[in-house]
Amino acid sequence: MSWLDIGALEDIPRQGARVVKTVQGCVAVFRTANDQVFATADRCPHKGGPLSEGIVHGLSVTCPLHAWVFSLETGMAQGADIGAVATFAVRVEAGRILLDDRCLARQVAA
């Protein structure tokens, strides 16, 4: 893997998100209450809602448009909803967030 430095962990508030814009689409980067970091496609498969504007709770994010809940770990919709969002490898090293740059070269789920 090749890693791209996308910013400091402290740039994202706990239980918040930021967007990384790529030529293939937007990637939402989430920080949980206990400083875990996850990256997914930024569009909900239901109606295209911006997941980066959703509510982060535990290891999940709730879409701001229609309350679909997605696992930050797997991208799978939880409950009775059907669907998933793409997830991308991300890690924190020395306080910096690193995103696997292969996600920049492949199509992000819509």
Q: Spell out the domain ranges in the chain.
A: 3-104
Q: pLDDT higher for 77 or 106? A: 77
Residue 83 pLDDT grade (very low, low, confident, very high; cuts 50, 70, 90): confident
pLDDT score of 86 = 94
Query: Domain 3-104 sits in which CATH superfamily?
Result: Rieske [2Fe-2S] iron-sulphur domain (2.102.10.10)
Of all residues in the chain, the percent with pLDDT exceeding 70 is 90
68-91 core/surface letters (b: 16 or more CB in 10 A; e: else): bbbbbeebebeeebeebbbbbebe
Assign 99 to helix, strand or coil.
strand
pLDDT of residue 17: 98
Containing 39, the helix (H) or strand (E) segment is strand 37-41
Predicted pLDDT of residue 77: 93
